[in-house]
Every structure is written in C-alpha cells, then in structure tokens.
Amino acid sequence: MRVHRRHRRLAVTGLAVAALGASTLIISNQAFAAEGCEVDYNVISDWGSGFQANITITADEPIDGWQINWTFPSGTSVGSAWNVDWNQSGTTFTGSDVGWNATIGSGQSREVFGFTGTGNSALPTQITINGDVCNGQTDPGPTDPDPTDPDPTDPDPTDPGPTDPVPNNPAWGEGLPPAGAELSMAYELILESNSRGYQPRAGECSNEIHARYWEYGPDGKVYPTWHPTRDPSGCAFGHEHGDDPRPSPLFADSGFPPFGYVSEVQADSLAETSHRHEDHVGHKILVQNTNVIQGDDGSAFFPPQGTTLANCDILLKIHQGTHSPDAFKNNIHELISNIRCTGGGQTVQANVALMMPFGVAGGFSPSECPGFGGPRVEVGTAVPADSPSEYQTLGRLISNSACIDAIRRGDTHFDPLFPDPQPFNVSDMDDFWFGNATISGAGVNFSITPLFYVIDSQRYYDPALPDGNGRVLDLCYEPDLLGGFNCDQALQAGGGQRLEWDDPRSPFKGSNREFRPGGFSVSSSGSGVIYTDTYGNNASTTPFDGSIAQYISGNSGNGWYLRGATRNWDDGTVHSPN
C-alpha cells in the first residue's frame, strides 16, 4: 500500500491548517481486482484536540456490503460518526454500511461515512476491508506531490459536493464557528438582533450565546440548528425548535438539521426572484418511533388495531410558523426528513431535503372553524412568485375572520373527544397543514404526504387588519365570543389584566403541535443516492448545479401511513413569536 497526501481546500475559507491535514490512503485489497481499491482517509478539519475525517471507497469491482477496520494511534477515539454502524475497542475501529450506502459499483467512488475524533489525526494502520488486511504502508515518496499543493485533477476543491455527508460540529452549543468559516444566510440572520432571525428580550440569552448552536451543512457552510429552550448558563431563548434530535437512532446518519440549507442551495443556483427565505423560529423537529399498522390510512383520530407492517424511526424537520402572515399566501416550506423503517425482512429509508408545497400558492382554505371545505381565501402573489402548487391534498387550512362570525352564531362541529357536537370557540382557531412531496426518476419513486397540526396558533387571517394578521389572543377579550380552554388559561394568567400577544403567559404560542409524516411510499432500484433540484424534481444519478443529494433505498408496501406524536414543547419560557 502506498500513502500519498494531497491538499484539499475547504469551503470554509481560511482554514488552511485543517486542509493541510487532508490525507489519502491507496490500499491494495486481494478481494477485488488485481489493481485493488482506493480508500480516501480525508482529514478535513483539525483543531488540535480533535479532528473531522471523511472516508471514501473506490472499488475496482462491485462491492455489496462493506466493513472497514483500522488501528488508531494511541489515545485517538471517535466521538461521533454518521452514515455508519460503528464501534471502537481500545485503538481498534470497526465500521460497516447502513444499508443505503452498502453498494459501490465497479470504478465508482463513494464517500461512505464521516466522523469526528479526539486525539491524534495521524493516519491509522492495519486497515482492512471485509477482513482483508491492507499492508505495505509507506511514507510519501519523493515522487509524491507537494502536500501543500492542490491536486489539479480534483474537482473544484472549494465545493465539497452534494455527496458529502452531514458532519457534526464538535463545538455545538459551546463556541462560535472557526474564524473564516463560510456562513449561510440563515446563520448570518441570527448573529444580530433581527425579527426574522433571533431578537432576544432583556434577560434572555444573547445573540452570541444563540449563535453557538450551529452545524455544518452538506455544502460546508455554517447553519443554525436545534438548541434547547434554555442554555446551560441558565438563560432562555424564548422560542423552541421541537424535539432534541440527539436521542434519535438516525442522528448518526443526519446530525443536527441545518436550518435553511435548501434555501441556501436555491440562493446559490437560482435567480433571486426564485429564492425562498424563512424565519428562524419556525424550524421545528420531530423525533419519534412509530408502527405502520395494516389498514391505517390516517382518517381516524386514533390508530386502528391491526397487524404491524413495519416499525419506523423518524427524524424530521419542517418549517411551520404560525405567528406571521407568511403562510397566508406562501405554500412552500423547507422539509429535512430522515425516515427509516424495518419490516418484512427489509429496511426502507428516505433521507431527503427539499422545499415541500402545501396546497396551492397565493392563498389558503379555512380550518375547522368555521368548517373544513369552505371557500378558498385568495391573499396575493406567493414568494417566490414561481412557487409550485400541489393539488393532491387539502393544503394549508388556516382560521380566518369567518370563524369569529361562526362563534357568534353558535355554530357547532364534531369533536372526536366529545360524543355530542360542540360549539365553536376561540380556542378552535388552529392550523392544519397538509402537503405532498414526490421524487420520481433515476430508479426512485418516493412520496410523503404529511399533516402538521398546530393546536395553539398565534394568528388568524382578517383582511381588515394590517397584513391580514390578527392575534388569536386578542379575541379572548371579546365579551360576546366563547373563549374555550386556551382563553380560560389566558384570563386566569392575566389576573384581570389584558395580556399582550407575545406574553410568555399566553397559551397561544404555536408550541402545542401534532406532527404526522402521513402517507409514506418508497421504491428504489438503484444504489440509493440520487440528485434532485430543491423541489425534488429533475432526478439524476449524477450531481448538477443546484442539486441536493437524496438518499432513498428499499421498497415499502402500498398504503403505509406513519403517525407521529402530539406534544407541547413549551417549558414556560416560550413566547410568541415562536
């Protein structure tokens, strides 16, 4: 085995020291062709006490399932890894494929996994692939290229490419990005007090503390990501992003979701008139394990009793804000979702990132108050104006001022929690978002049809108000309106005083939600990795400008429906806007 080193510049500019740590191993493996195969052990970042590395395998003959072993220098250990099942005993590291990245075609190079480690970033020894020892490691010879010079045969070294896995940030919650790191627009938005980013109140965590919660995206840029409602220092952020992704079995694959990644790809590849930018507080995460039950189509409030077809892990991020007028006319919202199901002796996985349409752009339909199926409300031109619509679902169902009239009339509706029809009240002014996203082509057919339900929406639509944006809480103080449980809570919290819409004591803060991935269908005949544009269209087996890598493998049954969870993520510190 020969060892030579190459220099690779990072997309994070100015990290020359990290780039100089990049290394390549060429290993000879008797299990494959005489020429062997090639493994890149690429150290892309080294901060002294630790490092981050990516592993790429190039096969001379097809590989269907791989296991790689090596021996680290003494004192080196893996802290976290993604896209690999791994363990470490002493200095011995073992990693194997996770299904979708098991196959490597003849002559194909595939970046199979990455990890962060502590200790020495020097090359490991005693590397094996599928049990075959790779001997003969040598130091760089005099004919090796200068380690400080870029390899002229490499693709653009400033672009890690859409095949790179999502790395982890070892300094998550503890420090800011390295000096010179390339920042996404979403991250720049939270650095200074900004109503679309992060605007702390007196006593809340500073912008600097908030900015410590970041993650690298697949493009190597820095993005904001999930954080707890409180920093360990004791200060609160005033908003929440749903579930902590770290307990999910899928976290090793996905890492922290990079908020705004799909929007960034749009900004880098499309005309400005086709960009979609969303505010920070609307990014919400669901972590859940659920069973697929035979015969469940989601139409019943409670799941039916029946045969379990599959068990699914869900790590899903959707942007769903219910405090601003944004969703009145804008129907596309960022979805970053990793769902892995096992059943019937197979594993099905879809790890995707795209802009998902929820119904038709430019308006919405009424929510349960004044009644499902009401006439569509046209609001105006969506942003961007070329936002695609989908017509398979009900789209965004949002309460409007017609609900106020229904409450005053004493109109009733069916509530599955009560045997008799119930009169509408202010607490019924909620949001139901139905959407559909599909990926078709390049050997893949994928579809997801979720429902995102917000029980305590912060706003409703009234064309007579500025931007059409009414505050649901304000209606609790109308004496002729039946308030319901949320209004009762607000009146009690105020003790006779009127609460402001963004008071933490208000129960209308968008934190009480039900998330259902809903209809889920996967069919894949390829290697599992394809590339699409930001809407999941134009599927290709090779990357292209503005493409996003989508990881889809396995074949699900027909009619799978995934229920999620209903939770209230408010811990007492959350307030609107959230």
pLDDT tens for residues 257-274?
A: 999 999 999 999 999 899
CA–CA dist 126, 507 (Å, integer): 59
CA–CA dist 408, 566 (Å, integer): 30
Please report, for residues 91, 129, 134, 330, 549, the alpha-carbon distance to residue 126 in angstroms, rounded to integers and kept in the order given: 11, 10, 6, 55, 32
Mean predicted confidence (pLDDT) in 90-100: 86
pLDDT value, residue 133:
60
Mean predicted confidence (pLDDT) in 197-210: 97
For the beta carbon of residue 252, count every other beta carbon within 10 angstroms.
18
237 neighbors 204 (Cβ within 8 angstroms): yes
User: DSSP letter at 262?
Assistant: H
Tokens found for residue 529: 């990795």
**Any long-range contacts for 269-275 (C-beta under 8 Å, 24+ apart)?**
269/534, 269/545, 269/546, 270/534, 270/546, 273/384, 273/385, 273/386, 274/384, 274/386, 275/384
Please report the DSSP string for 82-110 in residue order.
ESSEEEEETTEEEEE--STT-EE-TT-EE
Q: Which residue has the tokens 């998330």?
A: 515
Strand partners, 85: 96
Lowest-confidence range among 31-35, 130-134, 308-312, 501-505? 31-35
Q: At 85, is the pLDDT very low, low, confident or very high (cuts 50, 70, 90)?
A: confident
| Per-residue model confidence as pLDDT tens digits over 141-195 | 333 334 334 343 333 333 333 334 444 677 899 999 999 899 999 999 999 999 9
CA quadruple 224, 543, 154, 21: dihedral sign: positive
Lowest-confidence range among 142-156, 203-217, 292-306? 142-156
3-state secondary structure of 214: strand
The ranges assigned to domains in the chain are 2-134, 185-568
For the beta carbon of residue 417, count every other beta carbon within 10 angstroms.
6
Mean predicted confidence (pLDDT) in 414-431: 91
Q: At 22, is the pLDDT very low, low, confident or very high (cuts 50, 70, 90)?
A: very low
Mean predicted confidence (pLDDT) in 337-363: 95
Q: Is the pLDDT of residue 515 over 90?
A: yes
pLDDT value, residue 13:
20
pLDDT value, residue 242:
97
CA–CA dist 256, 569 (Å, integer): 18
Amino acid present at 493: A
H-assigned helices in 3-43: 16-20
Q: Report strand pairing: 85-89 vs 92-96.
A: antiparallel
254 neighbors 351 (Cβ within 8 angstroms): yes
Mean predicted confidence (pLDDT) in 45-67: 80
Among the four given CATH numbers 2.60.40.290, 1.10.260.40, 2.60.40.10, 3.10.350.10, the one describing domain 2-134:
2.60.40.290
pLDDT value, residue 162:
37
Strand partners, 104: 63
CA quadruple 343, 247, 314, 165: dihedral sign: negative
| Per-residue model confidence as pLDDT tens digits over 531-570 | 999 999 999 999 999 999 999 999 997 779 999 999 999 9
CA–CA dist 162, 219 (Å, integer): 7
CA–CA dist 265, 261 (Å, integer): 6
Q: Is the pLDDT of residue 525 over 90?
A: no
**Any long-range contacts for 478-485 (C-beta under 8 Å, 24+ apart)?**
480/408, 481/404, 481/407, 481/408, 481/425, 481/426, 482/407, 482/423, 482/424, 482/425, 482/426, 483/425, 483/426, 483/427, 484/425, 484/426, 484/427, 484/428, 485/427
CA–CA dist 98, 313 (Å, integer): 14
Q: Report strand pairing: 396-398 vs 363-366.
A: parallel
H-assigned helices in 106-223: 185-191, 207-210
pLDDT value, residue 303:
85
pLDDT value, residue 346:
87
For the chain, how big is the Rg over CA atoms in Å?
A: 26
CA–CA dist 301, 296 (Å, integer): 11
Strand partners, 481: none
Q: Which residue has the tokens 């039946």?
A: 482
C-alpha closest to that of 486 among 431, 433, 430: 430
Tokens found for residue 340: 């892995």
Tokens found for residue 558: 């027909």
Strand partners, 53: 43, 115
Q: Is the pLDDT of residue 69 over 50?
A: yes
Q: Is the pLDDT of residue 106 over 60?
A: yes
pLDDT value, residue 36:
53
CA–CA dist 248, 349 (Å, integer): 15
Q: In the Cβ-directed half-sphere of 412, how many Cα atoms lie within 13 Å?
A: 8
Lowest-confidence range among 4-18, 282-296, 464-478? 4-18
Percent of the chain, pLDDT > 70? 87
pLDDT value, residue 257:
97
Q: Is the pLDDT of residue 483 over 80?
A: yes
Tokens found for residue 283: 């990014």
C-alpha closest to that of 239 among 249, 251, 230: 230
| Per-residue model confidence as pLDDT tens digits over 449-469 | 999 999 999 999 999 999 999
C-alpha closest to that of 507 among 520, 525, 494, 497: 494
What is the pLDDT of the chain when averaged over all its residues? 85
| 130 burial type by CB count under 10 A (0-12 exposed, 13-18 middle, 19+ buried) | middle
Lowest-confidence range among 102-111, 380-389, 462-471, 517-526? 102-111
Percent of the chain, pLDDT > 90? 65
Q: Is the pLDDT of residue 34 over 60?
A: no
b/e sequence 199-208, b meaning 16+ C-beta within 10 Å: bbeeebbebe
